[in-house]
Structure 1
Amino acid sequence: MGMLVASGCGSNLLKYEKDQSFKKIDDFESKVKIDIPADPEDSSETGAATSTSGESTSGAGSKSPKTSEPRPTATPNPAEIEAAAKVKAADARVAKKTPPATSKTKVPKTAPKSAKTSKAKGGAVSAPAVPSRRQPELESEVGFEGRRPIKDPFRVGEKVVHQVHYFAVSAGQMTIEVKPFAQVNGKKSYHFGVGAKTSRWYSGIYSVDDKVSVLMDFETLVPSVYQLAVRETGQVKESRMLFQDGKAMFWERKVTEKHGEEENKKEWDILDYSQNVFSAAFYLRVFDWQVGQENAFRVADDGENLIFRGKAIRRERISTDAGDFNAIVIQPQIELKGKFKPVGDIFIWLSDDDRKFILKIESKIKIGTLVSEVIELKP
């Protein structure tokens, strides 16, 4: 059995002394296979990878490949040379007598078996239906070829660090990363990471050490998985979400000082091309943002199917600890069943270039304003 441990100060992180079984959610792991690079610092797409169980999927590891020694050349046998020459001469005589094929040569007309099933009533072969525009129609076509952005904003190794302030006091840091590509059920996927941790001073009020991993299909830009680990004052939580076969499946295992262990599972039907609540922050970056224009996409979260709508309201130049940037300011809104859902006043500053880094976030809450701004940027 596990044990809850908290020090005298109630603001400290809740610790849960239990084996790794708390982090392992068997139902989730039985439905998906995730292979990620073993060492993010040194790995590439072709490097060794680890699965959800942490086992390496490549036996080569970091060892150099063995080079084979050159084989000695055999000495030709005179009899074999003479026999080969006779065969070659015979082949030449046969080739001389055979006329070359011309365009007049009749080829038997054999229709493929599948042609019968593809004919329409008039006898013409019907082509498979192709959408006339990028899907879903809710989303803009500008800057895309099908589902892929013409200019991919993501680079492996990208890292953006934000300082988070509350009432002008440093509350902690947030890190946004693009990690080496992963494989989800055999498909190439982006691997995004976000971490949030409170400063030592603010941890005296409330402690946070949260991490989320997001996996998004490379071709469709649809998320398949997110894995969330929460370590905060009063609670420890592990969450998993999987988008598969038109359904969202959510698992949560939580321990709190007040209620002890709790488990939650949820499943619901989702619309095609939906984002999850974490992938949405990255998906924002693939769109072409112009002042006065709006971009929208689907989001599935907490048993509901929502619409994210963001409007570019202005361009401005901002000065940060990481440097000066041209930025475009986005104001997001959430729509549920045709009605806007209150989310408070939130503004997002994206770099006004092809990369669209998240430079700043400002969120007005019930008491005060949270401001997150870039202090370090590794493109």
Structure 2
Amino acid sequence: MLSRLCTFASLMYQLFSSVMPNFVGRDSRFTQLSSIVFLTAFLVAASFAGEPNLPEVNAPWMKGERLTFSLGWGFITAGTATLEVKPIAGGKTELLTHATGNKTINRIYPVNDTVYTRVRNKGLMTEVFRKRLHEGSFHNTSVIRFDRKGEKAWLSDTVFTDMKTRKTKRSADTAVTIQGEEHSIMSAFYLVRTLPLKVGETSRFSAVSGKKRYELKVIVHGREKIESIFGEVPCIKVEPVLDGDGIFVSKGRIFIWLTDDERRIPVLMECEIALGSIKAKLLEAK
């Protein structure tokens, strides 16, 4: 289950898929969650080719933010995940996600996953996306570099049999054709936090994940009050959905509750499974 939880909420790409792999499997909802929170942000991608000319994002969290989540299923807490925003020079920002199992989980199945993304502040366009997964004996490094002018996303993926010796099990390089405004999972999650999110509306956009370009949509279901570290707060409930044969198809529904204010803080993320649901609950916000 942690597996599924980890993968949503930059928002989280690996947050869920990594910490509970023994319960759910690598391609589960946790992965979806991560991907979701991230993919969710693809909403505004327009369809013109070449280098996009987009306005600069000035959301409150662009000045710096660190969110910490508990990852669990029912009464079981499997691990924690952090989402961090770091402004850097040159009109750019770093987005970082880290997921790890708790002491009990790590004794059985060590988990240490990180996702790094560098974006331009204009439109939160991704320049590079880097994912490093260490889950038990599974070690994987993936990199996506976006060439907007050349209309390509260059992907490199390597699975190692031994990290100490860097012995490779398999490696692949792929080029995906893009149209200029596709996002990575991480930038997508943060971009969705800048949108109006009107109840009843559905936004559509494009994203690059794995070796493919996907068409995504985000459904705004309504407003609910959610108990959180801030007390009971008004939230907007959204559901990311991937059309076609992608990672979110037939994997169970994923929901995200964002505070109904300019911060759009994700206080709760939930992925439905056969036996209940997997949840990422906000523990701390800085």
User: How high is the TM-score relative to the length of structure 2?
Assistant: 0.73
Task: Mark the CA change 1:190 to 1:210 in structure 2 (over 3 Å): closer, same or farther.
Answer: same
Q: Which amino acid aligns with 1:253?
A: T
Other structure's SS at 1:292 match? coil
Residue pairs, 1:98-109, within 5 angstroms: none
Deviates more, 1:314-323 or 1:232-241: 314-323
Q: Distance in 2 between matches of 1:227 and 1:302?
A: 11
For 2:192, what is the secondary structure of its paired residue? helix
CA deviation after TM superposition for structure 1 residue 366, in Å: 4.8
The counterpart of 1:251, out of the listed 152, 156, 162, is: 156
Whole-Å Cα distance in 2 between the matches of residues 254 and 374 of structure 1?
32
Check if 1:308 corresponds to 2:252: no
Which residue of the partner structure matches residue 105 of structure 2?
Answer: 202
**Paired residue secondary structure (1:264):** strand
- For the aligned residues, what is the CA RMSD? 2.7
Contact 1:253 1:262 in 2 (8 A): yes
Q: Is the 8 A contact 1:305 1:336 kept in 2?
A: no
Note closer, same or farther for the CA distance 1:254–1:150 as it changes in structure 2 (3 Å cut): closer
Q: Match of 1:334?
A: 242
Identity of aligned residues (%): 23
Work out whether 1:228 is the aligned partner of 2:136.
Answer: no
Highest CA radius of gyration, 1 or 2?
1
Of 357, 369, 377, which aligns to 2:277? 369
**Native 8 Å contact 1:161 1:377 kept in 2:** yes
Aligned residue among 216, 228, 245 for 2:119: 216
Q: Distance in 1 between matches of 2:112 and 2:76?
A: 18
Is the 2:64–2:85 Cα contact (8 Å) retained in structure 1? yes
Aligned residues: 233
CA distance in 1, matches of 2:274, 2:242: 18
- How far apart, in 1, do the equivalents of 2:70 and 2:146 lie? 32
- What letter matches 2:70 in structure 1? Q
Aligned to 2:193: 285
Q: Which residue of 2 aligns with 1:157?
A: 64
Q: What is the distance in 1 between the residues matched to 2:192 and 2:154?
A: 23
Q: Is the 8 A contact 2:145 2:153 kept in 1?
A: yes
The 1:173/1:135 distance shift into structure 2, 3 A limit, reads closer
Structure 2 residues not aligned, in runs of 5+: 1-18, 20-43
1:238-279, CA deviations, whole angstroms, 9 ceiling, x for partnerless residues? 22110112111111222137x953222111211220012232
2:227–2:233: 8 Å Cα contact kept in structure 1? yes
The residue type paired with residue 113 of structure 2 is D
5+ residue gaps, structure 1, are 1-11, 13-133, 139-145
| CA-CA distance at 1:152 after TM superposition | 2.1
> Which residue number corresponds to residue 179 of structure 1?
86
* Residues 248 and 197 (structure 1), Cα distance of their counterparts in 2 relative to 1, 3 Å cut: same
2:99–2:113 CA contact under 8 A, matched in 1: yes
Query: Structure 1 counterpart of 2:270, which letter?
Result: E
C-alpha distance in structure 2 between counterparts of 1:150 and 1:265, whole Å: 32
Task: Tell me the TM-score normalised to structure 1 length.
Answer: 0.56
Q: Which is bigger in relative contact order (C-alpha 8 A, separation at least 6)? A: 2
Stretches of 4+ aligned residues off by more than 6 angstroms:
none
Higher fraction of helix: 2
Alignment deviations for residues 312-362 of structure 1 (CA, whole Å, 9 cap, x no partner): 111111112453322100011112389x94342100111111111121110
